[in-house]
Every structure is written in C-alpha cells, then in structure tokens.
Amino acid sequence: MPEGDTVYRTARNLDAALHGDRLSRCDVRVPALATVDLTGDTVHEVVSRGKHLLMRVGEYSIHSHLKMEGSWHLYRHGTPWRRPTFQARIVLETADWVAVGFELGVLEVVPRDREAELLAYLGPDLLGADWDAAEASRRIGERPERPVAVALADQGNLAGLGNEYVNELCFLRGLLPTRPVSEVTDVPGLVGLARRLILANRDRSERITTGNKRRGMQGWVFSRAGQPCRRCGTPIERGRLGRTDLELRITYWCPSCQT
C-alpha cells in the first residue's frame, strides 16, 4: 500500500535516474492535460512531500499522488513494461530512461510557483528535512474529539501516514482506533513513534512494524482480521471508522491489547 515511505523511495529513484537530463518525449495520457508537452525541458529534481510526488521540469511541476493503485516505473529503452499499457497516465523519456506513471490517483501539471499553494494544507512531512514534531502534535490536539486513527491519517496534521501505519501505531501504543485524541495521554510520544517507524522503513522494499523480517510476520494488526494477535492470541477485529468520505477508513485492532 503506497504510504509516505513508498513515495519517498519512488521520488529518490526517479531523481537518481532523471536529474539534470532533458526530456526527449513527454506523453501525458489524461484528457485534461492532452496539450501538455514538456519535451526539451530539463528535469531539475524529483521530490516527495508526504504522499505527494513533485517532478520539477523546466518551469513546471508534474504533481502526482499514487492513491491506492498508482505507481511510477523506470525502464531502459526497449524493456517490456510490467503493467498494461492502458494503465499508463504519463510517459516521460530521456536519452537513458523511460519513466511511466501508472494509474495515478492525481496527475496535474502546474507552474513551479504554484507548488506551495497546491500543498499548503499539508502538515509537517514525516520524512522531510523540515519535520516539526511539536507542530504536528499541536495540530492533532486542535480537535480533541476526533478518533485518534482519523487524526493520525489527516494529512493536514502530519504528512505521510496511510492506513497501514495508522493501524500499526495504534496497536503499538495500546490505543483503540476510536479513542478520542483528548484521551491520548502522550500525543508527542505517539508522533515521535510515527516518525521513528516511517524512518526505519524508508529504505526497505517491504514495510516492517514488528521487527520480524519473515514473510507474513512483518505487521501486528493491519489486514489480519480474524487472525490471532501476535501478543495475546485474541482474534484481530476489523471495522470502519469516520463520518465523511475523507475520514472513512478500515481499522484493525486487538480488543485485548488496545483500550
């Protein structure tokens, strides 16, 4: 599942391949962007901001968000693609590489000076150089009535956590996903753990929250409904949380270890 660490690695890999090179082809396969052509422009850098990816090309930024199904791939010229051609939303080529964005949940091309406006709603980036734990904690505390899982997933509080991290963090801190923020005794501690956890996974191809690298043993509760808790053996439960489309998410928890 794409989360902040996935987008961070994607941006790093794209930047390593494309940085400083000119585009020899720019094919945007989205009707609203059909006239966009950045061929001949230089790729200045590719960076991540939370779960958003920004490719700065010439005077523009190609902004994408993977959502649930999206991904960026890098290929050498002539190499077969690993996903169907019809799923490609954008194809960018340089002399050495072909970068393809498949099923991107968001794709837009904006002037570079609009970047800040575009992402102004985001909270501190967990993997950013300007990470600010105190500000993230303050933002979470501004709405004490919200369930802690909803607060953690809100990108306006802190940018980078998706549903998997949120569920795993609640388990690690012994918190029911539904517990109100006002009843969380150590919000800074929870935020600090989120930072440590995503940093530990930043360079891994497979996300691990248990410390166990064995396949099938990497997570505590996420996507484990009905299976025994790795700590106490109680079956993991599954539910839905949130009252709006923006808040709605699937939650997993141990009814014994989390209160």
Q: What gap in Å lies between CA 67 and CA 64, rounded to an integer? A: 9
Q: Determine whether 3 is an active site residue.
A: yes
Annotation marks residue 213 as catalytic: no
168 catalytic per annotation:
no
H or E element, residue 10: helix 4-18
Phi, psi of 192 (to 5 degrees): -60, -40
Q: Tokens for 95?
A: 């002399």
Place of tokens 């439960």: 237
Catalytically annotated residue among 31, 45, 51, 115: 51
Q: How far is CA 91 from CA 70, 100, 108, 112, 173, in A?
A: 14, 5, 13, 20, 43
Q: Which residue blocks in 112-186 are alpha helix, DSSP H?
A: 115-118, 133-141, 148-153, 163-172
Residue type, 180: P
The active-site residue out of 2, 124, 147, 177 is 2
From the candidates 3, 93, 115, 168, which is the catalytic residue?
3
CA distances from 182 to 136, 167, 248 (A): 15, 18, 20
Residue 120: how many CA atoms within 13 Å on its side-chain side? 5
Q: How far apart are the first and last CA of the chain?
A: 26
d(CA 74, CA 71): 10
Catalytic residues: 2-3, 51
